Amino acid sequence: MRLLQTMSVFIYTCERCREHFAGAPYRVISESDGKRLLDMLVCYGCYIEASQLGLDTEAIPISQVALH
């Protein structure tokens, strides 16, 4: 994931649609037989889509992402 900091606002690039966004990112996870197949940080729109597809999703606190 690409992370930019502009005037104390973090700008992220969604790992799915590649759009830039500000605010909290979301994590989309998919596992099979105990193996992680997908682990992406995405924008709100992609988060909603993933939720509708039944994938595991969660909001990520900005402080956790900024440390990586």
Report pLDDT for 5. 53
Q: Three-state DSSP class for 21?
A: strand
CB-facing half-sphere around the CA of 33: CA atoms within 13 A: 0
* pTM reported for the whole predicted model: 0.74
Q: Is there a contact between 30 and 24 (Cβ–Cβ < 8 Å)?
A: no
pLDDT tens per residue, the chain (68 residues)?
555 555 567 788 999 999 999 888 999 999 989 899 999 999 999 999 999 999 999 998 766 655 44
What are the residue boundaries of the structural domains of the chain, listed by start?
3-66
pLDDT value, residue 61: 77
